[in-house]
Structure 1
Amino acid sequence: MKNKKTIYVLLILFFILTSTIIAGYCLLFNHPFQIEKRTYLYIDEDDNIDSVYTKIENRLHASTLRGFHLLSSLSGYAEQIHPGAYQIDASYTTWKTFHRLQHGMQTPVRLTIPSVRTLDKLVKTVSRQIMADSASLSGLLNDSTFCAHLGYNSNTLPALFIPDTYEVYWTITPEQFVERMQKEHKRFWNEERIKKAQHIGFTPVEIVTLASIVEEETIKKAEKPMVAGLYINRLHKGMPLQADPTVKFALQDFTLKRIRHKHLECDSPYNTYKYPGLPPGPIRIPSIDGIESVLNYTRHDYLYMCAKEDFSGYHNFAENMTKHLQNAARYQRELNKRNIH
């Protein structure tokens, strides 16, 4: 009889143990996410365990959180939440997902540096792609002491950024972001590119400055080396650039479609009608194509350019003022005809 009781107890314990294992397996190795493709789960610095649960439920459409509750209570995860961007697949189990979150195994995100006109726009775009907010990033880039430490000032700082797409961790700090941009800048400005710049007689910052003007003058990739060659001709001859985009930048009015005499009176070092040579710094963050168009500019004898009267986005080029005035007259007539002021 005693043996039978022992067997019964053992069977009950075995049943309980088996049931617990099965229940635990179902809780931890289930597939709770109702998502059709890989999805990023973003955990912020100020998230607590409840907000993490909410994000898992809403972002990943989790059918149950019981497994997460169990693992959190056993591991003390609530006291050591790691911020980051975690890429989660629909096939991930509760255990695999929790393991990644608990150990901070975040996934790199793609950070795109755009070709934009101002650092403010750059900051807004970047801050939407990483955890750092725009205020902290803007504060760092507007810190004159910090910029000087990098070898830049407020005018030349846009030359630091090379528009491209990079892989970074979402938790990258503003300081780490700038450090990464420095590394990419050094990688871009290799020995070959530096030699090309020196052959033209420019520093990398001056190349970027001219590239920014070229990009504002034309959106046509094939025409950029031509425009670059024209401005290099003017610089080598000691002629003022007389580039309309620099006047727009000086006035901080990028909506101007027609530059008039009153605009040319603007007293700014960026006004290349009033001040010779290159402006103090880039008037935008130019693309790699724009930079390459200056480094590999087209050799020609043109000194003047004017937008084509067909508004195709291309330009008429001229070697002398007489031809240029003829081109300009045709363009002005079209502006008047279309009532563009």
Structure 2
Amino acid sequence: MKARNIFWFSIILIGMLMVILGWVMSQKSRRAKEIGKAEKVIILVQPGAHLKEVARELEDKGVISDAGVLVFLARLSSDEKKIQAGEYEFETGMGYEQVLEALVKGRQRYYKLVVPEGYNIWQIAELLDRSGIWSAEKFLSLVKDKVFIGSLGLELDSLEGYLYPEGYFIKRYETEKDIIKMMVNRFKERWKTEYEERAKELGLTEREVIILASIIEKETGRRDEKPLVSAVLHNRLKKKMPLCMDPTVIYGLMPGFSGNLTKSNLQTFTPYNTYLNSGLPPGPICNPGEDSIRSALYPAEVNYLYFVSKGDGSHYFSSNYSEHLKAVETYQMKGK
């Protein structure tokens, strides 16, 4: 009976201590914020870090006033070994429970990665490299690693075309592999059953659709023109005409392309040169967005075979070569 009384007394005492500690610290936090002294503090919790180390850093930087109290509360709630690695943003004078909850639930800072439609693997690698956290070299190695690609359920030589262009929120200790998986999973989410069925109607594989979509993406940024460019591609393929698309030539010269497409470039053989090779290039030339993928599957019902840039972001489309030559003279030879 005496032992039981001691047990319950201990439980009540611990509960009262926790309530008092919580109240005291919440008051400190409130007062600090009221007088404008709260400051933002960034804490890096390394993978495998012990709570004691993290608590000491939190105390040193003024987030909490006593590291021992945080460790004590974590032990009481069995959370001492549950903290998650990451980059956290706290404020000085925060409450212990609030800090502990953030560490246990992984409420950390995210890095936003925005991949524009039409970016290729080298451009995405550059975006990651600019962060100073992730490696362009490692990323480029992984997107061409057949073993890794196979682990994602794909049989490809490269993930070009399957890194879906969108905004991503990435945690500090997520790896290049994690980021690539996010992008590929997003692609799989966006590739609808409707698209699969439509591709079969057209006699195309998923990969052929993505190759077409990637060319459309690079040829025009105008949504209203994408189905027209798609029609040109489909019509030329049906007639077994070379596609003759400049962006495919450029891709074949990557990553060392100078940025200035020359006549010599058009005559340089690469597997992606659609002036010298018939049919589709061997793979996508960028990572296309939703509009381009849909346009590849639903081309406009027109008989266009050519188009030329008007110099204002739009294009003039033609059904025969003589009309195309006139358009070239009108829009590209002026002033030369």
TM-score when scaled to structure 2?
A: 0.74
Are the aligned partners of 2:58 and 2:67 in contact in 1 as well (CA < 8 Å)? no
Any conservation in 2 of the 1:67–1:94 contact (CA below 8 Å)?
no
Q: What is residue 165 of structure 2 aligned with on the other side?
A: 163
1:127 deviates by 6.4
Q: Which residue number corresponds to residue 96 of structure 2?
A: 95
Structure 1 residue 305: deviation in Å?
0.8
What's the counterpart of residue 315 of structure 1?
315
CA shift in 2, pair 1:256/1:243, >3 Å: same
Judged with a 3 Å threshold, the aligned counterparts in structure 2 of structure 1 residues 180 and 257 are, in CA distance, closer, same or farther, namely closer
Alignment partners' CA distance in 1, 2:154 and 2:28 = 54
Alignment match, 2:154: 151
Q: 1:21 to 1:313 in 2, by over 3 A?
A: closer
For the residue of structure 1 that corresponds to 2:225, the secondary structure is helix
**Counterpart of 1:316 in 2: which secondary structure?**
strand
- Give the number of equivalent residue pairs: 310
Contact 2:271–2:277 (Cα < 8 Å) also in 1:
yes
Q: Is the 8 A contact 1:132 1:172 kept in 2?
A: no
**Where does residue 208 of structure 1 map in the other structure?**
210
* Cα-to-partner distance string for 1:74-99 (whole Å, 9 max, x where unaligned): 458998763124465x7993323321
* 1:237 to partner: Cα distance: 1.4
Alpha-carbon distance in structure 1 between the residues aligned to 2:266 and 2:187: 34
Partner Cα distance (2:120, 2:260) in 1: 19
State yes or no: 1:324 paired with 2:319: no
> 2 CA distance for matches of 1:251 and 1:316?
27
Say whether the 8 Å CA contact 2:250–2:261 is kept in structure 1.
Answer: no
The structural deviation recorded for 1:113 is 3.8
**Which residue in the other structure is 1:12 paired with?**
none
Cα drift, residue 273 of structure 1? 0.2
Give unpaired runs (5+ residues) of structure 1: 1-17
Unmatched tracts of structure 2, length 5 or more:
1-15
1:258/1:175 CA distance change after superposition, 3 Å: closer
Q: CA RMSD in A?
A: 4.1
SS of 1:158's equivalent in the other structure is coil
Residue pair 2:22, 2:96 contacting (<8 A) in 1 also: no
How much has 1:211 moved relative to structure 2?
A: 1.4
Could you tell me how far 1:21 is from its partner in structure 2?
Answer: 8.8
Equivalent AA in structure 2 for residue 99 of structure 1: L
Aligned ranges for residues 1-341 of structure 1 at < 5 Å? 25-27=23-25, 30-31=28-29, 43-45=45-47, 64-67=62-65, 69-72=67-70, 74=72, 75=74, 82-86=84-88, 93-107=94-108, 109=110, 111-126=113-128, 133-149=135-151, 150-155=153-158, 157-166=159-168, 169-252=171-254, 256-260=259-263, 262-308=264-310, 311-334=311-334, 337=336
1:271 CA displacement: 0.2
Q: Equivalents in 1 of 2:209, 2:222: separation in Å? A: 19
- Taking a change above 3 Å as real, the CA distance of residues 276 and 331 of structure 1, as seen in their structure-2 partners, is same
Contact 2:146 2:157 in 1 (8 A): yes
Distance 1:43 1:122, change over 3 A: farther
Residues 1:24 and 1:254: Cα distance change in structure 2 (over 3 Å): same
Letter in 1 for 2:312: S
Letter in 1 for 2:239: K
Question: In the TM superposition, what is the alpha-carbon distance from 1:138 to its structure 2 partner?
Answer: 3.7
Identity of aligned residues (%): 26
Contact (CA 8 Å) 1:68, 1:94: kept in 2 or not?
A: no
- Provide TM-score, normalisation by structure 1: 0.73
Deviation at 1:306, TM superposition (A): 0.9
